[in-house]
């Protein structure tokens, strides 16, 4: 695999860490800033909404730029946002800093995934995307657990200082290794928007929304759930996040190979597995060892879907891959926000934290339905074109 893919993976590691590290520190942020756990969870929701809203805007506003220049500019914005997080003294300034950071997120992953796919042959595109998104999964293997441990030891601001340095390293790498011979893109707003036509595309985007909502209904509240229901210490929260991160990484790499083999089967199978493991975790969460095993399997099933989701959406929007790929990242974060909100509603309604995974299972079943509908739509369209 080209060296540029590994630099993109480092960048996705930094971006993934800054998005997810707050999950392991929700109790600390809640206490320090004098807000409730659901209010602290809005720091994830606000980030996700900023990605969802900002991603297409950033993609369209940079449509005339070289992809290399765009990625470098977005990483500069990422550094600025994390620096603001590192010095934020209160809740609302932290929220604003998170929004600034999120503006780079969707466009970077969207355009970066197009660059990653362009660096390899057709039969290796899903695996190239899996390698880039391995940075995102490693953010959960290493970034989130280490960031959580760092936040416990030195305060929740500390991880953001480290992430800022990671952003600087990523920026240097992007400048040095991204291909320089790319022609300037001829951006056309009308052409980009025309690529958004078609029921299949919007069903595939809804599939991404339901995937992310099924994941983050549980993931957002994993720290308080483990502490209050499973009864683990803060140290074991960190170790559990590490175990889940290993599951995410394994699932992502396997999912890339499966998506290159059979896309529809991979998506349907992963959604079914997410629904099943989420439902089981609502039972096993009361016992330490069964909870750990279930979370590992849940994590592996979840991120096995990521490369397939990206390839699926770009397949429906080939005429504007940058915009469509970026919107898919926005869809992922819309689902992130939806999942965090659904989990918060379950908690605020007075249900036990152990019931939150059932909400995630319901979202996964909705995702399975949209997978079936999107591929049925694609088959019907192909049959119509063949008959004509």
Mean pLDDT of 344-354: 86
Residue 213's pLDDT is what? 92
The helix/strand count (H/E) of the chain reads as 17, 0
User: Given its phi and psi angles, is residue 54 left (phi above 0), alpha (psi -120 to 50 degrees) or beta?
Assistant: alpha
Give residue 132's pLDDT: 84
Domain hosting 302: range is 3-180+187-380
Structure confidence at residue 38 (pLDDT): 77
Q: Going by C-beta distance under 8 Å and a sequence separation of 6 or more, which residues neighbour residue 23?
A: 44, 144, 219, 220, 222, 223
How does residue 254 score in pLDDT terms, banded at 50, 70 and 90? Answer: confident
Considering the domain boundaries, does residue 386 fall inside one? no
pLDDT band at 167, cuts 50/70/90?
very high
Predicted TM-score (pTM) of the model is: 0.72
- Whether 387 maps to a domain, the answer reads no
Using alpha carbons, list the distances in angstroms from residue 376 to 243, 308, 328, 335.
37, 17, 20, 23
Which DSSP string do the residues of 146-174 spell out, in sequence order? HHHHHHHHH-TTHHHHHHHHHHHHHHHHH
68 within a domain of the structure (yes/no) = yes
Q: How confident is the model at residue 250 (pLDDT cuts 50, 70, 90)?
A: confident
Q: Is the per-residue pLDDT at 107 higher than 70? A: yes
pLDDT, position 383: 64
Of residues 114, 45, 43, 101, the one with CA closest to residue 74: 101
Q: Is the pLDDT of residue 110 over 60?
A: yes
Cα torsion 139, 306, 220, 354 to 10°: value is -120
Domain count, the chain: 1
Contact in structure between 201 and 316 (CB atoms under 8 Å): yes
Per-residue pLDDT at 186: 53
71: domain CATH number is 1.20.1250.20
Q: Model confidence over 62-90: pLDDT tens digits?
A: 777 788 888 999 999 999 999 999 998 88
Asked if residue 222 lies in contact with residue 22, where contact means CB atoms within 8 angstroms, the answer is no
pLDDT band for position 274 (cuts 50, 70, 90): very high
238 within a domain of the structure (yes/no): yes
What is the model's pLDDT at position 46?
84
Q: Could you tell me what percent of the chain has a pLDDT over 70?
A: 91
Question: Is 388 among the domain residues?
Answer: no
The residues near 118 (Cβ < 8 Å, ≥ 6 apart) are: none
Contact partners, residue 306, CB within 8 Å, separation at least 6 = 130, 133, 136, 252, 255
**12 within some domain:** yes
In a domain, 128, yes or no: yes
Q: Note whether residue 201 is domain-resident.
A: yes
Q: Work out the pLDDT band at 184, boundaries 50, 70, 90.
A: low
């Amino acid at each position: 695999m080209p060296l540029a893919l590994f630099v993109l993976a480092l960048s996705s590691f930094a971006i993934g860490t800054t998005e997810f590290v707050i999950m392991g520190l929700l109790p600390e942020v809640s206490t320090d800033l004098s807000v409730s756990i659901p209010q602290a969870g809005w720091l994830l929701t606000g980030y996700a909404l900023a990605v969802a809203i900002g991603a297409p805007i950033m993609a369209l506003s940079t449509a005339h730029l070289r992809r290399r220049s765009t990625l470098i500019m977005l990483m500069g914005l990422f550094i600025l946002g994390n620096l603001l997080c590192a010095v934020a003294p209160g809740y609302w300034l932290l929220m604003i800093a998170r929004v600034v950071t999120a503006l780079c997120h969707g466009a970077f992953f969207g355009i970066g995934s197009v660059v990653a796919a362009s660096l390899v042959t057709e039969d290796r595109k899903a695996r190239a995307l899996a390698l880039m998104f391995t940075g995102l999964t490693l953010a959960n293997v290493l970034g989130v657990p280490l960031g959580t441990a760092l936040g416990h030891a030195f305060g929740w601001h500390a991880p953001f200082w480290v992430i800022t340095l990671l952003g600087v390293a990523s920026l240097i790498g992007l400048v040095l290794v991204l291909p320089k011979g790319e022609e300037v893109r001829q951006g056309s707003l009308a052409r980009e928007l025309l690529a958004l036509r078609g029921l299949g595309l919007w069903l595939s985007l809804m599939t991404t929304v339901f995937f992310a909502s099924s994941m983050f209904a549980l993931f957002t509240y994993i720290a308080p759930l483990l502490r209050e229901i499973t009864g683990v210490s803060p140290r074991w929260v960190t170790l559990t996040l590490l175990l889940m991160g290993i599951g995410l990484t394994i699932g992502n790499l396997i999912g890339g190979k499966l998506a290159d083999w059979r896309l529809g089967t991979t998506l349907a199978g992963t959604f079914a597995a997410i629904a099943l493991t989420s439902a089981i975790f609502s039972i096993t969460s009361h016992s330490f060892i069964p909870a750990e095993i279930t979370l590992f399997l849940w994590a592996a099933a979840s991120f096995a879907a990521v490369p397939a989701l990206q390839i699926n959406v770009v397949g429906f929007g080939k005429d504007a891959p940058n915009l469509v790929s970026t919107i898919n990242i926005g869809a992922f974060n819309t689902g992130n926000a939806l999942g965090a909100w659904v989990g918060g509603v379950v908690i605020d309604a007075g249900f036990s934290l152990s019931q939150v995974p059932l909400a995630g299972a319901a979202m996964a079943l909705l995702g399975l339905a949209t997978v079936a509908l999107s591929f049925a739509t694609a088959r019907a369209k192909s049959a119509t074109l063949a008959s004509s």
